[in-house]
Amino acid sequence: MKTEVKREMAPPAPRFYTVAEVARMLSISTRMLYTAINNAEFPAVRIRGRFVIPARAINEMVAAAIQAHGLVDASDWVAQDGAA
């Protein structure tokens, strides 16, 4: 008799995080993160007054810090002067 192994699929990776989730990931306050977003120092998407953070931006910042073996500036992931 065959034993059927049930494999659970991992949930898909999120495409966006809330400000609170990213603040927890970075061990900073949500207020600090909102300030950085409002000062164009941290990438975010505004949807009707609510901010979400692209998971890709977080992943790329982490990869860049690891590759550089040091500091990266989050503001480098924010479009400047309306440039995309």
Length of the chain: 84
pLDDT of residue 68: 92
**In the numeric block, which tokens belong to residue 41?**
């120092």
- pTM here? 0.78
Task: Give dist(CA 41, CA 43) in Å, integer.
Answer: 7
| Residue 44 vs residue 2, higher pLDDT | 44
Spatial CB neighbours of 60, under 8 Å, sequence gap ≥ 6: 77
What are the structural domains of the chain?
Answer: 16-74 (1.10.1660)
Q: What is the pLDDT of residues 3-49, one digit of tens each?
A: 677 778 888 889 999 999 999 999 999 999 999 999 999 999 999 99
Spatial CB neighbours of 23, under 8 Å, sequence gap ≥ 6: 29, 30, 32, 33
Q: What is the pLDDT of residues 55-77, one digit of tens each?
A: 999 999 999 999 999 899 999 98
Amino acid in the structure at residue 63: A
